[in-house]
Amino acid sequence: MRFRTASILAPHQNDHSIGLGPELPPVINRKEPAMTIRALVFDAYGTLYDVQSVRGLATELCGEKGELITQLWRLKQLEYTWLRGLMQAYEDFSVVTHASLEFALESVGVTPAPALCEKLMAKYLDLDLYPEARQALNALAGYKLAILSNGSPKMLDALVRASGIAPLLTDVISVDRAKSFKPDPRCYELVSPTLGIARHEVLFVSSNGFDVAGARRFGFTVAWIERGGGHAAPENSNVGPAEFYKLLRGRSERLGYQPDFRINALTDLTSVVSGLAK
């Protein structure tokens, strides 16, 4: 049975309550048992690392089209993971990322020359770590800390080494082991045998709505960090690429599985885990 907390971190009501799956027991006026969280498992892209940090290089190399390329690249990258999953035609994330970059460049009329693609792809090996990420990981050092990511092993190895957080992590888990992409349940199944814990001992953390839904459906306790949410609705259709991206990818998905917790920064996780232990 899940613990719920009422505070600034209070989770949304799970959409199971509106008939989108088996009903959960009511939680109002009920004190539920404490949970033992032994590991925190983080998504990488968009959660620990800022995928928008490619914008500066894209603008430097492609001028005024850099912003649009940044957003198209990420959107198509995600779409290709889902399409390859549905087609059962797995290729690792470096292949997906390169193909989606070529699509984005061609879409805006920029020739995907090998030298240009190589420079932009290199940024994915050295994305900016979110400012509070290192502080949060240090504060959670008493737990097993891991990454579960769509990234290929080589991409993730380069990323955690470049950012200097490798010593803080128990493991870095690539979905390449499952030959699929999140939110395929086989990806989340990698966590327990790798870390030697049960799924109910995991707090999964992601900024991506599809990942939150997939992890929640799988049975993890989930914290959603709202990297792109909380913004006012646009007044009209005159929105730029970045705002369009936030409207599409920065909101909670309507898939019937809501996060257990909503947080604004990774440093909020210390409050979450301490509350779960009470």
pLDDT digits over 24-70, tens only? 332 222 234 567 899 999 999 999 999 999 999 999 999 999 999 99
- Residues assigned a catalytic role: 43
Single-letter amino acid, residue 40: L
Query: Mean pLDDT across the chain, nearest whole number?
Result: 88
Q: Which CATH superfamily is domain 51-123 in?
A: Putative phosphatase; domain 2 (1.10.150.240)
Name the region of 256 (left: φ>0; alpha: ψ -120 to 50; beta: rest): left
pLDDT number for residue 229: 64
DSSP string across 108-149:
TT----HHHHHHHHHHTTSPEEPTTHHHHHHHTTTSEEEEEE
Token pair 């492609």 in the structure block, residue: 62
Domain ranges of the chain: 15-48+128-231+244-276, 51-123
Q: Tokens at residue 68, please?
A: 């649009």
Confirm or reject CATH 3.40.50.1000 for domain 15-48+128-231+244-276, answering yes or no. yes
Token pair 């989108």 in the structure block, residue: 20
Q: Note whether 38 and 197 are within 8 A (CB).
A: yes
Single-letter amino acid, residue 184: D
pTM: 0.87
At 234-262, the pLDDT tens digits run 899 999 999 988 888 888 899 999 999 99
Q: Which residues of 149-177 are buried (b: 16+ CB within 10 A; e: fewer)?
A: bbbbbebbebbbeebebeebbbebbbbbe
